């Protein structure tokens, strides 16, 4: 029986560029890397996984991904934070480095969206406590994110989920 997603592996132009981005902006740590930069394996802060993401370098001459626009492919990865204070801190870091592209209230989770150095999208989200899902239990909700209102409603340090 599958218990959850353990890790993701992405092809990127330069694994070292992604290593710096994930380390500097999202506080991931490097678990293993190939000295010439062919690959980097990284772990998210607070994770018990060997690695949560790996990057395999394919070179600067490759084209951008057309997934969702001209081909099938992965839309994004979703990283979870424990509290809204952490979500706000990540939002600030992503905005400061120019990677933040948006935010949504999905009812069951509150999400910010960003792009990595190759333009691949990822999500950082806080899981709303299940008792507060309401219509989100059975609906695909997309509303504008009002992080300040959510902090006022749930509290900045309330642990999500459950």
Same domain, 23 and 83: no
Please give the tally of structural domains in the chain.
2
pLDDT of amino acid 4: 83
List average pLDDT for each run of 10 residues in the chain, which is 162 residues long: 90 97 98 95 96 97 93 94 97 98 96 97 95 83 96 96 80
Starting at the edge strand found earlier in the chain, the sheet holding 100-105 runs 77-81, 121-127, 109-115, 100-105, 143-144
Same domain, 44 and 85: no
**Domain CATH number, residue 22:** 3.10.180.10
pLDDT of amino acid 49: 96
Same domain, 33 and 88: no
Question: Which DSSP string corresponds to 71-137?
Answer: B-----EEEEESSHHHHHHHHHHHHHTT-EEEEEE-SSEEEEEEE-TTS-EEEEEEE--GGG-GGGG
Rounded to whole angstroms, the maximal C-alpha distance in the chain is 50
Domain that residue 11 falls in:
1-60
Q: Is residue 68 part of a domain?
A: no
């Amino acid at each position: 029986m599958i218990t959850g997603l353990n890790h993701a592996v992405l092809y990127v132009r330069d694994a070292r560029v992604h290593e710096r981005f994930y380390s500097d902006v999202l506080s991931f740590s490097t678990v293993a890397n190939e000295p010439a930069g062919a690959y980097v394996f990284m772990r998210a802060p607070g994770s018990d996984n060997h690695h949560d993401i790996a990057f395999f370098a394919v070179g600067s001459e490759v084209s951008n991904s057309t997934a969702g626009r001209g081909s099938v492919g992965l839309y994004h990865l979703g990283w979870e934070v424990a509290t809204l204070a952490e979500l706000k801190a990540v939002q600030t870091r992503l905005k400061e480095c120019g990677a933040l592209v948006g935010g949504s209230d999905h009812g069951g989770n509150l999400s910010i969206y960003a792009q990595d150095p190759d333009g691949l999208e990822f999500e950082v989200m806080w899981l709303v406590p299940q008792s507060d899902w309401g219509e989100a239990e059975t609906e695909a909700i997309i509303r504008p994110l009002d992080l300040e209102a959510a902090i006022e409603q749930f509290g900045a340090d309330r642990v999500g989920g459950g």
